[in-house]
Chain A
Amino acid sequence: MPLSSDTFQSHKPAAGDTLSGTPAIETHGLSKHFGQRKAVDGLTIRIPAGTIAGFVGPNGAGKTTTIRLLLGLVRPDAGSATVLGHPLTHPERYLPRVGALIEAPAFYPSLSGRTNLEVLAHLGGHPRSRVDQLLELVELADRARDPVRKYSQGMKQRLGVAMALLPDPDLLILDEPTNGLDPLGIIQMRDLLRHLREQGKTIFLSSHLLGELEQVTDWLVMLNLGKALFSGPAHEFLDRRSELVVEAEEATQLDLVARIAREAGYTVTSDNGSLRIACPLDFASELNRQAREAGATRIVIHAREVSLEERFLALLKGERS
């Protein structure tokens, strides 16, 4: 995706608008029920302006419903939220500055890619030149006249991204944008997101590809059963993802180590004759010292960094237990 300076206007947020300032998205106790099912349940999150925020959760966690709430497509049963400083009750005040790709992008299959974009450009009052710019950006200019039904999954996904970028948005909400993209397409998407962040735009990115999110996000929101398990700077979450693995021949020595770790406030799990302690890596020397003092002298401590997936699964497991 070739990036040029005239495709996007730079909207660098003022200092006060960044991590500590006015959030791009803020929700307080946001709830949405469909019959007896709680899709979103008292959700309270905050996304600072100018960040790439990863939105993670298992299927049915409430991600898409949250996105639909933010876009004014469904109405909340309780709670409140602001998007770009405006309340959800007035989507017409903020949606002209928001671009969105929700779930699988939807098109008129018998119309060309260009006409599909023109339909939305006319509706939003965007100039026709914007359509050409975006077709170039997503590398669909040479297939722009073909009906969308002849597009591959990856091409449809790129057209969906072009649709989301039509208003040159300050806030971009993308639901699984890399679906159907080949590895090169995923790398290009990553570059595009970084480029947009450099322009001062906020990106709210829902994805199942946690490894992919890990590479681009500054902020993380983790959702399960409609509730936020974590909402904060990505580094806070990622810093916590190390663990110590302790091995010993005698079970009594492992019991001593487990007691010390638990007393220090860390989660300990047994795994095939070894212990896994979720803690910062610098706890290793302290653990070793206390273990020796307690008489556990024949232990081996390994440091291990867990993936975002493992950390996320552990968080889910903790939530479920």
Chain B
Amino acid sequence: MHAFRSELLKFRRWSMLAGSGVMIASTAFIAYLTFHQITSGATGPELTPLIQAFPTSQGLITVVGQARSLIIVIALIMVTSNLAAEWSQGTLRNLLVREPNRLRLLTGKMLALVLYVIISAALTLVISAILIFAVAHAQGISTAAWTSSEGMRTLLAFFGNEMLCLVGISLLGMLIAVLTRSVGAAVGVALAYVLVPEGIIAMVWQQGSQWFPVRVLNFLPGSAFPPAVGPTPPQGYLTALGVALLWMIGFVVVSALVFRQQDVNA
């Protein structure tokens, strides 16, 4: 609890606020751009599934969820840079002298960081949704399907799965920070991982890459979208959920084992 409260104080840093600001602004912008493309009569194979989903109960999440990958990347950078900075700045030694129980320190820090990521992402989605509602109303576009009971259920399913996905992403960020122990290396490795194994390798080895952690975690909120928009889990939602939980447990166990034994020379 002490570690958690202590970590909350650090959220006054501009870098944290900037991370949330970028997440909110870029997601709202991409959502508005998607909305504009759909309603302006633009056509194309990439837009067709979005246009088809737009008037349905899944219309709102289809528009708001277009920046999902960006939210994942920003959340990953926020967690890795925040945690790795304790090594880079040398502040970890101050923290460990005041809280020598390393697992308690890491748990408190991560609870606070995950809370921050979830609040930022929730604000991002709520602000984007309000923006799209406002623009739709201003243009006289019906939103009845979005606010129907089915629409609300879809929205909540998307929201819950997106939060679960971000918890997993945060735990991956923790593992990367604990292993690299430097902001530059942590952010570099995090981005490289998302781009290379999860991006490029996935293009040539789809069968195997469907089990990669970021992909599996992304399948969870993707399951709330129409199959044509996706990404829906090819292995089925429950299997994807189970694998995602296994990955999360793995990230926690490895991080805890490494951090507990690590020499702090920073």
Q: Is the CB of B264 within 8 A of A124?
A: no
Q: Which of A68, A111, A123 contacts B264 (CB 8 A)?
A: A68
Q: Is the CB of B94 within 8 A of A73?
A: no
Q: Which of B15, B90, B265 contacts A74 (CB 8 A)?
A: B265
Q: Is the CB of A103 within 8 A of B12?
A: no
Q: Nearest B residue to A74 by beta-carbon distance?
A: B263
B5 neighbours in A (Cβ, 8 Å):
122
List the one stretch of B95-103, B201-209, B218-226 in contact with chain A.
Answer: B95-103
**Which has the most chain A C-beta neighbours within 10 Å: B99, B101, B105?**
B99
B1-34 interface bits toward A, Cβ cutoff 8 Å, 1 = contact, 0 = none: 0110110011011110000000000000000000
Complexed CA–CA distance, A14 and B231 (Å): 70
List the one stretch of A4-12, A94-102, A240-248 in contact with chain B.
Answer: A94-102
A108 neighbours in B (Cβ, 8 Å):
10, 13, 89, 91
Q: Is the CB of B100 within 8 A of A106?
A: no
Interface residue A120 (Cβ < 8 Å from any Cβ of B) = yes
Interface residue B68 (Cβ < 8 Å from any Cβ of A) = no
Q: Is the CB of A111 within 8 A of B97?
A: no
Known: A106-B89, A107-B91. A123 touches B100 (CB 8 A): no
Q: Is the CB of B89 within 8 A of A107?
A: yes
Q: Is the CB of B10 within 8 A of A166?
A: no
Could you say which interface size class chain A belongs to? 20 to 34
B8 CB to nearest chain A CB (Å): 8
Complexed CA–CA distance, A122 and B99 (Å): 10
Q: Nearest A residue to B3 by beta-carbon distance?
A: A123
A121-138 interface bits toward B, Cβ cutoff 8 Å, 1 = contact, 0 = none: 011110000000000000
Interface residue A250 (Cβ < 8 Å from any Cβ of B) = no
Interface residue B93 (Cβ < 8 Å from any Cβ of A) = yes
Known: A74-B263, A92-B101. A106 touches B90 (CB 8 A): yes
Interface residue A118 (Cβ < 8 Å from any Cβ of B) = yes
B212 CB to nearest chain A CB (Å): 34
A103 neighbours in B (Cβ, 8 Å):
90
A160-202 interface bits toward B, Cβ cutoff 8 Å, 1 = contact, 0 = none: 0001001100000000000000000000000000000000000
Complexed CA–CA distance, A110 and B11 (Å): 11
Complexed CA–CA distance, A216 and B88 (Å): 34
Q: Is the CB of B98 within 8 A of A115?
A: no
Q: Is the CB of A111 within 8 A of B6?
A: no
Q: Is the CB of B98 within 8 A of A104?
A: no
Complexed CA–CA distance, A257 and B113 (Å): 74
Q: Is the CB of A119 within 8 A of B265?
A: no
A109 neighbours in B (Cβ, 8 Å):
89
Known: A68-B264, A110-B15, A123-B2. A73 touches B93 (CB 8 A): yes
Q: Nearest A residue to B96 by beta-carbon distance?
A: A73
Interface size on B, residues (CB 8 A): 27
Q: Is the CB of A102 within 8 A of B96?
A: no
B131-169 interface bits toward A, Cβ cutoff 8 Å, 1 = contact, 0 = none: 000000000000000000000000000000000000000
Known: A108-B10, A110-B13, A111-B10. A123 touches B93 (CB 8 A): no
Interface residue A75 (Cβ < 8 Å from any Cβ of B) = yes
Q: Is the CB of B101 within 8 A of A119?
A: no
B82 CB to nearest chain A CB (Å): 11
Interface residue A233 (Cβ < 8 Å from any Cβ of B) = no
Interface residue A91 (Cβ < 8 Å from any Cβ of B) = yes
Q: Which of A68, A107, A120 contacts B98 (CB 8 A)?
A: A120
Interface residue A43 (Cβ < 8 Å from any Cβ of B) = no
B20 CB to nearest chain A CB (Å): 15
Complexed CA–CA distance, A109 and B13 (Å): 9
Q: Is the CB of A106 within 8 A of B93?
A: yes
Interface residue A72 (Cβ < 8 Å from any Cβ of B) = yes
Q: Is the CB of B100 within 8 A of A92?
A: yes
Complexed CA–CA distance, A92 and B3 (Å): 15
A166 neighbours in B (Cβ, 8 Å):
98
Q: Is the CB of A68 within 8 A of B265?
A: yes
Q: Is the CB of A115 within 8 A of B96?
A: no
Known: A74-B264, A111-B12, A163-B94. A123 touches B89 (CB 8 A): no
Q: Is the CB of B94 within 8 A of A122?
A: no
Q: Is the CB of B90 within 8 A of A122?
A: no
Q: Is the CB of B90 within 8 A of A124?
A: no
Interface residue A81 (Cβ < 8 Å from any Cβ of B) = no
Complexed CA–CA distance, A286 and B261 (Å): 60
**Which has the most chain A C-beta neighbours within 10 Å: B2, B6, B10, B97?**
B97
B100 neighbours in A (Cβ, 8 Å):
72, 91-92, 95
**10 additional A-B residue pairs with CB within 8 Å, beyond A92-B101, A166-B98:** A68-B265, A74-B263, A92-B100, A106-B91, A106-B93, A107-B91, A115-B12, A120-B94, A120-B95, A122-B6
Sample (13) of A-B pairs whose CB atoms are under 8 Å apart = A68-B93, A72-B100, A73-B93, A73-B263, A92-B101, A95-B97, A95-B98, A106-B90, A111-B12, A118-B9, A119-B9, A123-B99, A124-B98
Chain A residues within CB distance 8 Å of chain B = 68, 71-75, 91-92, 95, 98-100, 102-104, 106-111, 115, 118-120, 122-125, 163, 166-167
The 10 closest A-B pairs by CB, nearest first: A106-B90, A122-B6, A124-B98, A123-B6, A74-B263, A73-B264, A91-B100, A123-B98, A92-B100, A106-B91
